[in-house]
């Protein structure tokens, strides 16, 4: 058994790398071996809070009864931290009142412990609440205490910078930020938290945000580019240009201080990006579109040379390896585009946690698309979001003819899917069944009908509900509308038991669309349909849980109305394996 101390060290190491989701998972694993360990509980809640999962952090805080350890400053400040996050998430008139409440919580911790950490947070929240005099008083006290402190130099420097901004001393803030940048020791989670806090202070005090430049996090990129043509053969990226393109990639990554890269691993540009990231000490995150052997045969072997060996070395050194689908290619090149969108979404999620800049870097000949997927398609997808795209010339001389593809009727298409059921349905009596159909299913049908223009398929059996939509953001809205519709039902008035509750799971993945011989209408089939069905049984009543693929697709969409809060690696139903799950909610809710 691993000791609680060793688990805590692993959690902190993940935090320092900015891997907040992994930090939470490690803390959860440690708690399985050491139930009730205070500092693992503290770290689990902190990881959730830092990742933006405020609601989940609150639930864990209460479940662990961390109020029992109010004598510990770091633990006591967690409740105030969660209250602060609720205030910052609010976008309406509640924000000022919530900020005042959070400021009072921090001030109470400061009064008890005398620490500068609760003092500076109370100062910033007082400023947000419009209490400038209290903010300046608390900032001055925090600056005095941090200046006399002998604990961690990064937090003291960050506190001095924040206090100086509140007090209008830009020169002192600039000097403190330079010190903080020199001593953070690579603790990217701490830096991200500081940047978000100081950006708020800068906005409230009218300070140019450029003052925060010393604490800029390493950038995150989605990388892509043309495959390498076989030696001596013309193409969009030829062997004669490899050294020149490799040098351009290394220079671009260094210029933009790239610390994280997400993309595939085909011969040519992908592998050159992967090698450059690894050589620079950056993290490599690989997303393969389908079965590994199929991918190597299609996207690595044709280039000849030592590309397969280079592929294996990069894959072995990658921080993570994900599969858009674990099935075979089956002549379906649309899976390449789906995998690219997944990699883009994962890059955006990572950038959000790190408070880092996110961009795309592509090796491209500037030419038209060569099919349903490829570099030109990926660049178009990214640019449609309005985010920065950096291109490196591939110096190619020809656009190869597209390869033969599978029958269009047998291609898989990415679809957003919702599976739901009503907990407690199996205990309903025959007398209650008509009311269930009329009131419950009727209410859910009305919610789905509001999105009829995007609904491709709907079905029900007993209490089961299956909805397929063509847009992930619409699917998110439909899922939350379904929960709201159920919550609005007066079960007692309908003569139904109060224990009924709706569970919903969401996923986005490539599926087949066929005319169902039994139903006589279009239906959807494939492994990703089964995956969606395995989420709902482990979802709490009243909630919507979605997969990382759904969360990544939502991050890539233009809709900013929703947030996906990480809830951990969870076992799917019927032995389907562990999946990274997120709680879907409305942003600001």
Averaged over 553-578, what is the pLDDT?
78
Averaged over 212-233, what is the pLDDT?
93
Full residue range of the structural domain in which residue 461 is found? 412-586
Residue 8 in this model has a pLDDT that exceeds 70: yes
Structure tokens at 271: 């592998």
Residues in the chain: 589
Residue closest to 197 by CA, chosen among 139, 110, 265: 139
Residue 403 and residue 502 in one domain: no
Q: Is 568 helix (H, G, I), strand (E, B) or coil?
A: strand
Q: What confidence category does residue 309 fall into, taking pLDDT thresholds of 50, 70 and 90?
A: very high
Least confident of 332-341, 383-392, 407-416: 407-416
Q: What confidence category does residue 391 fall into, taking pLDDT thresholds of 50, 70 and 90?
A: very high
Question: Can you give the pLDDT at residue 575?
Answer: 59
Query: If you average pLDDT over every residue of the chain, what do you get?
Result: 91
Residue 341 and residue 431 in one domain: no
Averaged over 32-51, what is the pLDDT?
92
State the SS3 of 261-322.
EEECCCCCHHHHHHHHHHHCCCEEEEEECCCHHHHHHHHCHHHCCCHHHHHHHHHHHCCEEE
Domain end, chosen from 185, 215, 245, is at 215
CATH of residue 145's domain is 1.25.40.10
Do the Cβ atoms of 52 and 19 come closer than 8 Å?
no
Task: Tell me the H-state helices in 331-469.
Answer: 334-354, 375-383, 433-435, 442-449
Q: Who's near 6: CB < 8 A, 6+ residues apart? A: none
Task: Tell me the H-state helices in 51-93.
Answer: 54-63, 73-89
In angstroms, what CA-CA distances link 562 with 19, 46, 415, 486? 22, 22, 18, 20
Distance CA 296, CA 274 (A): 16
CATH of residue 362's domain is 3.40.50.450
Residue 433 and residue 359 in one domain: no
Residue 200 and residue 279 in one domain: no
Domain end, chosen from 353, 385, 408, is at 408
Do the Cβ atoms of 532 and 476 come closer than 8 Å?
no
Residue 263 and residue 384 in one domain: yes
Question: Can you give the pLDDT at residue 49?
Answer: 87
Q: Is 544 helix (H, G, I), strand (E, B) or coil?
A: strand
Total domain count, the chain:
3
Residue 571 and residue 553 in one domain: yes
Distance CA 562, CA 441 (A): 25
pLDDT digits (tens, 9 = 90+) for 79-116: 999 999 899 888 777 899 999 999 999 999 999 988 89
Question: Can you give the pLDDT at residue 147?
Answer: 85
pLDDT digits (tens, 9 = 90+) for 526-540: 989 988 888 877 788
Residue 168 and residue 194 in one domain: yes
Residue 522 in this model has a pLDDT that exceeds 70: yes
pLDDT digits (tens, 9 = 90+) for 141-150: 999 998 886 7
Question: Can you give the pLDDT at residue 581?
Answer: 87
CA atoms within 13 Å, Cβ hemisphere of 294: 16
Residue 439 in this model has a pLDDT that exceeds 70: yes
Do the Cβ atoms of 463 and 581 come closer than 8 Å?
no
pLDDT digits (tens, 9 = 90+) for 136-171: 999 999 999 988 867 779 999 999 999 999 999 999
Domain end, chosen from 171, 197, 215, is at 215
CA-CA-CA-CA torsion for 262, 264, 266, 271, nearest 10 degrees?
A: 20
CA-CA-CA-CA torsion for 10, 581, 389, 333, nearest 10 degrees?
A: 120
What totals of helices (H) and strands (E) does the chain contain, helices first? 22, 14
Question: Can you give the pLDDT at residue 589?
Answer: 58
Residue 588 in this model has a pLDDT that exceeds 70: no
Question: Can you give the pLDDT at residue 188?
Answer: 84
CATH of residue 507's domain is 3.30.70.1230
Residue 289 in this model has a pLDDT that exceeds 90: yes
Residue 149 and residue 260 in one domain: no
In angstroms, what CA-CA distances link 380 with 314, 345, 383, 403, 587? 27, 15, 5, 21, 27
Question: Can you give the pLDDT at residue 577?
Answer: 65
């Amino acid at each position: 058994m691993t000791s609680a101390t060793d688990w805590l060290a692993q959690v902190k190491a993940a935090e320092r790398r900015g891997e907040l989701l992994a930090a939470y998972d490690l803390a959860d694993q440690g708690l399985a071996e050491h139930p009730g360990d205070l500092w693992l509980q503290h770290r689990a809640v902190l990881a959730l809070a830092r990742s933006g999962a405020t609601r989940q952090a609150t639930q864990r805080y209460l479940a662990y009864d961390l109020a029992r350890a109010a004598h510990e400053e770091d633990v006591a400040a967690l409740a105030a931290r969660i209250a602060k996050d609720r205030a910052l998430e609010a976008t309406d008139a509640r924000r000022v009142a919530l900020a005042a409440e959070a400021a009072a919580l921090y001030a109470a911790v400061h009064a008890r412990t005398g620490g500068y950490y609760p003092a500076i947070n109370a100062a910033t929240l007082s400023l947000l609440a419009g209490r400038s005099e209290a903010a300046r008083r608390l900032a001055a006290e925090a600056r005095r205490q941090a200046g006399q402190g002998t604990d961690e130099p990064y937090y003291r420097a960050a506190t001095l910078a924040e206090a100086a901004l509140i007090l209008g001393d830009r020169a002192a803030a600039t000097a403190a930020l330079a010190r903080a940048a020199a001593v953070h020791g690579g603790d990217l989670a701490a830096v991200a938290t500081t940047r978000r806090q100081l950006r708020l202070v800068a906005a409230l005090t009218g300070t140019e945000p450029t003052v925060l430049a010393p604490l800029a996090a390493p950038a995150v990129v989605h990388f892509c580019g043309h495959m390498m043509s076989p030696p001596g053969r013309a193409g969009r990226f030829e062997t004669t240009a490899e050294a020149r393109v490799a040098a351009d990639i290394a220079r671009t990554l260094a210029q933009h201080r790239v610390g994280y890269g997400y993309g595939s691993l085909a011969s040519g540009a992908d592998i050159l990006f992967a090698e450059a990231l690894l050589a620079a000490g950056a993290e490599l995150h690989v997303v393969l579109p389908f079965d590994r052997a199929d991918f190597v045969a299609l996207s690595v072997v044709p280039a000849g040379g030592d590309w397969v060996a280079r592929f294996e070395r990069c894959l072995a050194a990658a921080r993570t390896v994900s599969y858009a689908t674990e099935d075979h290619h089956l002549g379906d090149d649309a899976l390449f585009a789906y995998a690219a969108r997944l990699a883009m979404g994962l890059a955006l999620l990572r950038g959000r946690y790190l408070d880092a800049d996110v961009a795309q870097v592509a090796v491209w000949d500037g030419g038209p698309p060569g099919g349903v997927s490829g570099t030109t398609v990926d660049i178009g997808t990214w640019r449609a979001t309005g985010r920065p795209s950096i291109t490196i010339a591939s110096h190619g001389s020809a656009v190869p003819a597209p390869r033969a593809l599978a029958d269009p009727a047998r291609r898989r298409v990415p679809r957003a899917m919702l599976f739901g059921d009503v907990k407690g349905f199996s205990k309903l009596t025959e007398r209650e069944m008509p009311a269930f159909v009329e009131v419950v299913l009727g209410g859910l049908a009305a919610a789905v009908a509001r999105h009829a223009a995007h609904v491709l398929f709907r079905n029900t059996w007993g209490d089961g509900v299956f909805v397929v939509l063509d847009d992930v953001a619409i699917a998110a809205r439909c899922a939350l509308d379904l929960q709201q519709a159920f919550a609005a039902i007066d079960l007692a008035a309908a003569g139904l038991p109060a224990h009924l509750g709706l569970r919903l799971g969401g996923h986005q993945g490539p599926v087949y669309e066929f005319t169902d011989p039994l139903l006589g209408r279009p239906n959807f089939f494939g492994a990703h349909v089964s995956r969606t069905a395995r989420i709902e049984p482990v979802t709490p009543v009243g909630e919507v849980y979605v997969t990382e693929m759904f969360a990544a697709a939502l991050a890539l969409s233009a809709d900013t109305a929703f947030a996906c809060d990480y809830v951990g690696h969870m076992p799917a139903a019927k032995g389907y394996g562990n999946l990274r799950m997120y709680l879907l909610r409305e942003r600001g809710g």
